Chains A and B, each alone.
Chain A
Amino acid sequence: MPRELADFNLDEERVAFRDTLRRFVEEALPMTAVRGVIDSGVAFERDVWTRACDELGLAGIAIDEADGGQGFGAKELAIALGELGRGLAPLPLLASAGLAARVVAAVLGRGKAGEWLGPVAAGEIATLAWLEAGGDWDPAATALEVEGQGAGVRLRGEKHFVLDAPQAERIFVVARAPGSHCDEGLGLFAVEREAAGLSIHAQEGLDPTRSLARVVFDGAPARPVGEAGAAGPGIRRGLEEASALLAAEMVGGFQQVLETAVAYAAERHQFSRPIGSFQAIKHKCADMLIGFEGARTASDAAIVAIDEDDPDRAELAMVAKAHVGPAYVRAAIENMQIHGGVGYTWEYDAHLYYRRAVSSGALLGDATFHQDALVRRIAARRASTTTGATPAQGGRR
């Protein structure tokens, strides 16, 4: 791209942080290394993760200082995720810091979760197991019930689509009190990697740079995180934050796709002219830019809303997740198209971004899911406004 896309909503310090991360990813996980990870079938290179944690403090960047982290905001974590997304870096940052840690912090309250988040901040890998075979994104659909009570509970059953499970030191599991329904009775439980009765079976992913696994509990011992049965709101909040963070990760990959497409369109010649001078191609690029501007604007608003504890944050997270996914998918498709035959080869990276776009677009709820949730929320908000109640509303409308 002849002109770097203007940095949007980043101050100087954050631009420097972003640049550091970009260099790290380019150096430690160039595409050849990513290909190596894909070919070897392991989820990611542990030593690169260790370096990311030791040198950059990545794992604990957005964890409160009181919980053992560095105390930066979701914004910094979003920047880091964006850079990993840009390079398709197979690292467990989303699973550990973006998903598990957010849910734990939301369930226990920030500053009160050091027992669990301290190790995460130090680089131990955690993940969240909430989805089940049916694949319903809504935590209310959780069927797994705990056995027993108090400190000595056990889990028996399965969780699916668990991110980065084979390398995780600890899995936080969403399960419910026996006989409970919907959000009521939802609890969060920690299962250690060495626990008896825990087995992990890698699943083949559409996106080979993101590790997915089926996790089987056969009476595995678990420890409750927070009050068992009352974790529903925290789990929801954590998932909502994770959706916004995943949107930010997607925006990083989106930018890479856009830049790649535009660079190729400017350089590849057919009929004695750059293909980017043909409108069919130029307009595809323009549409990518339009999609990208909406995507990064929506994702940034959702991230800022987390850090400002904006009452509008839930809706903004839905808007971001619903909007970014389809726009990224579209751009990834067009990027393959603009590359012609090369774009259809395994060897060329364009399909890896397409796979990432489709799979991330679905993960944590696809556009349909979030649109539906948004509409229900708006209806509830509007109904409460007309009956005179104060709407829980931020100013950004």
Chain B
Amino acid sequence: MRRADTAEEAAFRAEVRSWLEANAPAWAGQAGPAVLDHSVEAERAQWKRAQEWQRTKYDGGWAAITWPREHGGRGGTPVQALIFAEEQARFGIPGSFIDAFLGMIGPALIRFGTDEQKARYLPPMLRGDELWCQLFSEPEAGSDLAAVRTRGRVEGDELVIDGQKVWTTSAQYADKGFIVCRTNPDVPKHAGITFALIDMHQPGIEVRPLVTVRGDRHFNEVFLSNVRTELSNVVNGIDRGWPVTTFVLMNEGAFIGTNDQGRTSAEDLVAEAAASGRLEDAVVRQRLGVACVRDRVLGLLRDRLKDALLDGRAPDVDGSVLKILSAEWGHDKAATAVWLQGASGLLAGGDAPQGGLWQDQLLSRGSTSVGGGTLEVHRNGLGERALGLPREPRFDRDVPFKALKISS
């Protein structure tokens, strides 16, 4: 049960609130509709806004609450981070992709990085001065990330990278990237991978935006030829990138699990249906009832994750449960909303009710059902990790990478 604040927490919350009152950006509380504008200009404006807000937080000492002070953090607790996130949401300030990469690569550098790497990369990351992207997936390495083929070779004191990445979120806006590449094909797949930090502004990098189902340019193809980075930018050593990679993926999972910026609520649909008289229809009540129950259950599950955090316990519900339900139920709710619009459900964008909000959500299922690991892969994880079921027989563990069969 989401308990009441302790005196100390209440004091912290008050401090956060008064700071937000003084510093919240002018656009706070009106972030909604802008998200539906998928033009490049709108995306640029979003980034600019997010960067400015990150800077404001940094100046106020709120950029990374749980990070140690020596790395520019506040040295605070996860509970304080939760309180800040709650208050920020209350002010109508949605999270941005900055939060996502901060939560993924930041802790990985703190854990695996050299002092030099921390000093070089963490402060501008926290200030929002440098934007990051995750260069993991490739055309032939998605769920099977350890099959990456992008080559890395050591030349003098540099790592030289050639290959292709794909589905790279925000690569077109990124200044830096963290990449996994194959530095040794003669050993089994997990043992020949190197994790490195690269500068995205160099001649060998070509970024081609890909248009998603929703019509935005969320992710990109990234072509790398003769891309160079100093060996001092290798994290955890040559061929020893896999532990860093799994650590990043774990952080990504945690971020997805607790992120509860639901833009839409089934209760709003009920209120609208009541106002329009549609609620007289038992079929309407039925479909809305399903959506309302699910919204509440998902909210209670998220509370449970937060409660564990508040009590300092390990979470007792697996993040994949929330990820799967968010993706599936979020989509079903949108389908109900669009159905409820009747013939207007044929429309989209500005011609549709509410600027096409629900149509947009209907079409964005893949962002959670594929991004951050597919639902199938997460179900495997639940079966194996949470329930202890046996893995599938594998043929690729102890064989040199170069001997493996990879499609195309």
Interface residues of A (CB under 8 A from B): 1-3, 6, 8-9, 262, 265-266, 273-274, 276-279, 282-283, 285-287, 289-290, 293-294, 297-298, 301, 304, 315-316, 318-319, 322-323, 367-368, 370-372, 374-376, 378-379, 382-383, 386, 395-397
B289 touches A322 (CB 8 A): yes
Tell me, in angstroms, the Cα distance from A375 to B296 when the chains sit together. 12
CA gap between A221 and B12 in the complex, in Å: 64
Residues of the A chain whose Cβ atoms lie less than 8 Å from the Cβ of B321: 289-290, 293-294
Contact of B301 among A2, A294, A368 (CB under 8 A): A294
Q: For residues 230 through 267 of chain B, which have their beta carbon under 8 Å from a beta carbon of chain A?
A: 267
From B285, B318, B376, residue with most partner A Cβ within 10 Å: B285
* Chain A residues whose C-beta falls within 8 Å of the C-beta of B293 in the assembled complex: 318-319, 322-323, 367, 370-371, 374
Q: Which of B118-126, B168-176, B194-202, B378-386 contacts A (4 or more CB under 8 A)?
A: B378-386
Contact A283–B290 (Cβ < 8 Å): no
Closest to A302 in B: B300
Q: A282 with B384: in contact, given A301-B1, A375-B288 (CB under 8 Å)?
A: yes
Q: Which of A286, A298, A378 contacts B387 (CB 8 A)?
A: A286
Which of B270, B274, B286, B296 is the most central at the interface, judged by chain A CB atoms within 10 Å of its CB?
A: B296
Question: Please, which residue of chain B has its CB at the minimum distance from the CB of A282?
Answer: B383
Which residue of the partner chain, among A6, A276, A378, A396, contacts B316 with CB atoms under 8 Å?
A6
Given contacts A283-B383, A323-B297, contact A378 B389 (CB under 8 A): no
- The yes or no answer to B299 lying at the interface (CB within 8 A) is yes
Instruction: Please name the residue on chain B nearest to A295 by beta carbon.
Output: B297
Q: List residues of chain A with CB within 8 A of the CB of B33.
A: none
Which one, A278, A372, A379, A395, contacts B274 given CB within 8 A? A379
* A289 and B270 alpha carbons, distance in the complex (Å): 30
Chain A residues near B380 (CB, 8 Å)? 279, 282-283, 286
Interface SS majority for chain A: helix
Q: Give, as a whole number of angstroms, the nearest-CB distance from B135 to chain A.
A: 29
Q: Which residue of B lies closest to A288 (CB)?
A: B387
Contact present for B297 and A319 (CB under 8 Å): yes
Q: Which listed residue, B301, B303, B383, B386, touches A276 by the CB 8 Å rule? A: B383
Instruction: Contact check, A297 vs B301: say whether CB atoms are below 8 A apart.
Output: yes
Interface positions, chain B 265-323, Cβ under 8 Å from A, are 267, 270-271, 273-274, 279, 282, 285-286, 288-290, 292-294, 296-301, 303-304, 316-318, 321
Asked if A289 contacts B297 (CB within 8 A), the reply is: no
Q: Mask for B350-385, Cβ within 8 A of A = 1, else 0? A: 000000000000000000000000001001101110
CA of A227 to CA of B270 in the docked complex: distance in angstroms?
37
**A368, closest chain B residue (CB):** B286
B393 at the interface (CB under 8 A from A): yes
Q: Which residue of B lies closest to A318 (CB)?
A: B293
- B391 contacts A375, CB within 8 Å? no
Known A8-B316, A262-B389, A378-B292; judge A301-B384 contact (CB<8 A): no
Q: How far is the CA of A397 from the CA of B267 in the complex (A)?
A: 11
Is the Cβ of A286 less than 8 Å from the Cβ of B383?
yes
If A371-B293, A378-B270 touch, does A277 touch B1 (CB 8 Å cutoff)? no
- Cα A287 to Cα B383 in complex, Å, equals 9
A301: chain B residues at CB < 8 Å are 1, 300
**B324 contacts the other chain (CB 8 A):** yes
Quick check: A1 and B270 within 8 Å, CB to CB?
no
**Known contacts A2-B388, A368-B286, A382-B274: A290-B300 contact under CB 8 Å:** no
How many Å from the CB of B18 to the closest CB on chain A? 22
Separation of A9 and B296 alpha carbons in the complex (Å) = 18
Which residue of chain A lies nearest to B384 when distances are taken between CB atoms in the complex?
A282
Q: Roughly how many angstroms separate A375 CA and B2 CA in the complex, as a whole number? A: 24
A285-B270 contact, Cβ under 8 Å, with A301-B300, A375-B289, A379-B279: no
Q: Within the assembled complex, what's the spacing in Å between the Cα atoms of A266 and B274? A: 49
Whether the pair B270, A274 counts as a contact (CB closer than 8 A) is no
> Is B392 in contact with chain A by the CB < 8 A criterion?
yes
The verdict on B203 contacting chain A, using a C-beta distance below 8 Å, is no
**Smallest Cβ distance from B388 to chain A, in angstroms?**
4
- Chain B, residue nearest A262 (CB): B387
Give min CB distance, A320 to chain B, whole Å: 9
CB distance from A273 to the nearest CB of B (A): 7
When distances are taken between beta carbons in the complex, the residues of chain A under 8 Å from B285 are 371-372, 375-376
Instruction: Provide 16 A-B residue pairs closer than 8 Å at the C-beta atoms, listed in order of the A residue.
Output: A1-B387, A277-B393, A279-B392, A283-B376, A283-B383, A289-B321, A290-B324, A294-B321, A297-B317, A371-B290, A371-B293, A374-B289, A375-B270, A378-B292, A382-B271, A396-B303
Alpha-carbon distance A379/B279, docked complex (angstroms): 9
Considering residues A265, A285, A370, A378, which has the most beta carbons from chain B within 10 angstroms of its beta carbon? Answer: A378
Asked if residues A382 and B388 are in contact (CB atoms below 8 Å), the reply is: no
Nearest B residue (CB) for A259: B387
B389's partner among A8, A266, A287, A318 (CB-CB below 8 A) is A266
Given A279-B392, A374-B293: A290 in contact with B387 (beta carbons within 8 A): no
Q: Name which residue of chain A comes closest to B284, CB basis.
A: A375
Instruction: Give the residues in chain B near A372, CB-CB below 8 Å.
Output: 282, 285-286, 289
Q: Nearest-CB distance from A318 to chain B (Å)?
A: 8
A262 close to B388 (CB less than 8 A): yes
